[in-house]
Amino acid sequence: MIRHAYDASTPPSKPLTGCQAALGYLGGNTPHVWTPDEWNAATANGRLRCGPIWVAAPNISVYTQARDAVAKLHLFGWKADRFPHKCMLFLDSETSRNVTFIQEFANELWADGFVTGDYRSLEALTAAPSGLPEWVAHWNVPPGPFTDQQIMFQYMAEVPFDNTIIDLDALDDACWHHLGIGPRRGHGRA
């Protein structure tokens, strides 16, 4: 089954109609980290699934970034033991071909009960595959076909919505089962 999602650097104040998931920035080398209130607004208080994203920073060790990412996942309430499938964090490394960094980051997260999705351009993923589940940035073409590795496609970029800019994504069940429920659970809200 194909599901629809959106991702954004600066989140909208409400979800895009027709989407079942929202993906936003948890930390790393990003200009804006989504706050718990922004996650809640962008997902209609958790009615949409959540996909946290970590932006790789080239000048910080992989171990430090992985430790920081796990700490943020726990802070926001995404704990691996709460889901029937490991919660997925997407590592956004754009056009990087540093597969060693990507795999070491994924190994650190796996040890803490999380799975890593590899979010890069189609060119980077094709030239240097990591072997991880892939979120492929391939704009202005229909998404798919989904494969064992390619579980989500970002198929349209820079769509104006709710006073911000979002990107549109399509994902399959392999991705859907790894998305979180919402950060509110990590902050004492029901």
Per residue of the chain (190 residues), what is the pLDDT tens digit?
A: 899 999 999 999 999 999 999 999 999 999 999 999 999 999 999 899 999 999 999 899 999 999 999 999 988 888 776 556 788 999 999 889 999 999 999 999 999 999 999 999 999 999 999 999 999 998 878 888 888 899 999 999 999 999 999 999 999 998 998 998 776 544 333 2
Tell me which amino acid residue 65 is.
Q
- Compute φ and ψ for 132, nearest 5 degrees: -90, 165
Which of 109, 124, 176 shows the shortest CA–CA distance to 146? 176
Residues written for the chain: 190
CATH of the domain at 42: 3.20.20.80
Strands (DSSP E) found in 69-149: 88-94, 115-121, 134-137
pTM of the shown model: 0.93
Q: How many domains does the chain have?
A: 1
The range of the structural domain enclosing residue 126 comes to 3-187
Q: Which two tokens stand for residue 116?
A: 């890593």
